[in-house]
Amino acid sequence: MASHRKSRPTGTRVAGIRVPALATAALTSVALLSQTATAAPADDRPSLEEVRKKVDDLYRQAGSATEKYNAAKERTTKQRERVDTLLDDVARRTQELNDAREELGSFAAAQYRSGASLPDTATLLLADTPQGYFDQTHLMDRLTGRQKEAVDDYITQQSRTMRKRQEATESLRTLTDSQRDLKTAKATVQRKLTTARELLSELTAEEKARLAALEKKKQREAARKAAELARRQAAEREERRERAGQPAAEHTATPGTPAPAGSGTTAPDASYTTAAGKALAFARAQIGKPYVWGATGPGSYDCSGLTQAAWRAADVALPRTTYDQVNAGTTVPLSQAQPGDLVFFYDDVSHVGLYIGDGMMIHAPKPGAYVREESVYYDGESSIHSVVRPA
């Protein structure tokens, strides 16, 4: 016999309430949409590693722009000094030209009083190119010796004055170009740093903690590489000693302590060691001072400002920028770097530090950081460009 029990409606119980199938599907769709809306912003956000890489790139770009700013600032300063000198020279020569013109005028007046005035004297005194006037006449043949000297002096003074005016005009044009480059570099630095700060400000407290942990891990790896370099340097020193027939050294590498003299062809002489010691002492005294782009001390430094100031303390004049400092000495292998040497970074040579030994250096790293001791591998082995021993 067929059952007369009514079939139970399809659906789902939610908290004891039977929900129709159609309503269940609708609720599921809403839930999925809600989950998607919540997840979308997270999916669109860059990963922590991407943020870290982007910020590091921005700091490097800001460092490169800083060196361009330093170069433009130096050019602008020198060009302004040149323009001032030229303008002073033009003023002096203009006065000398006026004096020569007055002397010619006195001769003309004397000729007039004697009744033997020079032909077209007014034209002579007002002419822009008196030499052209004299070339077309035989006036010079009719002048006395002193009058000829006065005319020659006038022509010479006018020629020099015109040349200096042209130089001043060209220098003013160059100064304008340098000022434009300076303004562009400054804007680039500020834009890169602003973008980096904005990226960091968007991180949560947890993300910032993870970012700090990644940085510590990076520093540990850099320290490990520095220790390897120190061991390699010590081994190479001993090998060079053995080849030279010298006794084994008791020297133990310590940051800031140069290798013993005579330990190889690239070993510094006594005068360099003394100067390097002064430079290192100065650099150590700056540890803890803030990095400020474009700064040369005494309260803050950028990277090349620190190395320039350190070597200035040893009476050695280094150029202002990394681009010029890299050419201010002898390039040596990293394995033979000595305390006081300059270590340059990146393909565009936009960063520099002062080597102290054992794979370590003192440098002004980046905005928001302070002058500190750090491994030369702080940004990876591939970032090291070259090592230069200042002349």
At residue 287, what is the residue type? I
| Spatial CB neighbours of 171, under 8 Å, sequence gap ≥ 6 | 79, 82, 83, 86
Check if the beta carbon of residue 264 is closer than 8 Å to that of residue 335: no
**CA-to-CA separations, 298 to 43, 286, 301, 351, in angstroms, rounded:** 47, 8, 7, 19
Contact of 390 with 329, CB cutoff 8 Å? yes
Q: What separation in angstroms does the CA of 217 have from each of 12, 56, 153?
A: 52, 15, 77
Q: Is the sign of the CA dihedral 286, 292, 293, 299 positive or negative?
A: negative
Residue carrying the six token digits 């540890």: 287
Nearest partner of 302 among 68, 28, 33, judged by Cα: 68
| Rounded-to-integer distance, Cα 116 and Cα 107, Å | 11
Give backbone dihedrals phi and psi of 66, rounded to 5 degrees, phi first: -65, -45
Active-site residue 303, yes or no?
A: yes
Residue 387 near residue 343, CB atoms below 8 Å? yes
d(CA 334, CA 324): 19
Of 4, 138, 303, 385, which one is the catalytic site residue?
303
Give yes or no: 363 in active site.
Answer: yes
**Secondary structure of residue 51 in the 3-state scheme:** helix
Residue 272 tokens, joined? 């360099």
Task: Reply yes or no on whether 251 is catalytic.
Answer: no
The active-site residue out of 4, 138, 251, 351 is: 351
Task: Indicate the burial class of 327 (C-beta count within 10 angstroms; 0-12, 13-18, 19 or more).
Answer: exposed
Q: How many CB atoms lie within 10 A of CB 250?
A: 6
What is the C-alpha to C-alpha distance for residues 139 and 154, in angstroms, rounded to an integer?
Answer: 15
Give the contacts of 58 (CB within 8 A, at least 6 positions apart): 192, 193, 195, 196, 199
Positions marked active-site: 303, 351, 363
